[in-house]
Amino acid sequence: MSVDPWKFPRLVHLPSRVGRKPISIPDITQFSVVTRSLFGVGCTTPTEVYSTSAYNEVSSLPIKWSVPSISAQLFLLDLDLPEHSPHPRRVLARVARDLKTRSDISLESEVATMVYVRHHCAKIPVPTVYGYCPTRDNLIGQPFCIVSFTDGMDMAGVPWEDLPLQTKLIGIRDFAKVVSQLSQLHFKAIGSIYFK
């Protein structure tokens, strides 16, 4: 029986360099150094953000309002791999943004949660996390993780009303299965998941 080398992601130690960009701007030119440390090969430097993820923040002003904020930027990385390599040809770099990561443990908890769900709910499609750095003290300048890439459609980009009924039903059924599996997980206390 073979052991999955990516069962637990690698903690990436790549100290920042002197004279780098301001801390709020990720240095995407350094992803090749990161992929070299994880897979032994470089990657093409992304020319644009592949996608962004957001969360809502509610203001505590007298007028309550919700503001969507970017929590992470995703960059698609094409690895410089030989034809028959066991490694993936494409991965995603997920770079946390300052607004979301108010502490260094935020991204670490997200990574630990993905690993936990992947291990305990095998039917839920969770990306493989190959490596991560939960602090800003790295070549990228922001907390980041390198995860598996799955090609597909972003449901946020497709108007729900325009989808065929069968597609909607499949989506609702699949989402219900995920929620059902997650509801079977039990914990001794409330809080976040971290690596020991």
pLDDT digits (tens, 9 = 90+) for 154-180: 666 667 788 899 998 998 999 999 999
The average confidence (pLDDT) of the chain is 81
CATH no. of 10-183: 3.30.200.20
Can you name the residues that pair with 147 across neighbouring β-strands? Answer: 92, 129
What per-residue confidence (pLDDT) applies to 60? 46
Q: Say if CB 35 and CB 41 are below 8 A apart.
A: yes
pLDDT in tens, 52-109: 765 444 444 445 444 444 578 889 999 998 888 888 899 999 998 765 555 667 888 9
**In the chain, domain spans:** 10-183
Count CB-CB contacts under 10 A for residue 189: 4
User: Rounded to 10 degrees, what is the CA torsion of 98, 104, 107, 112?
Assistant: -170
User: What are φ and ψ of residue 72, in 5° steps?
Assistant: -160, 155
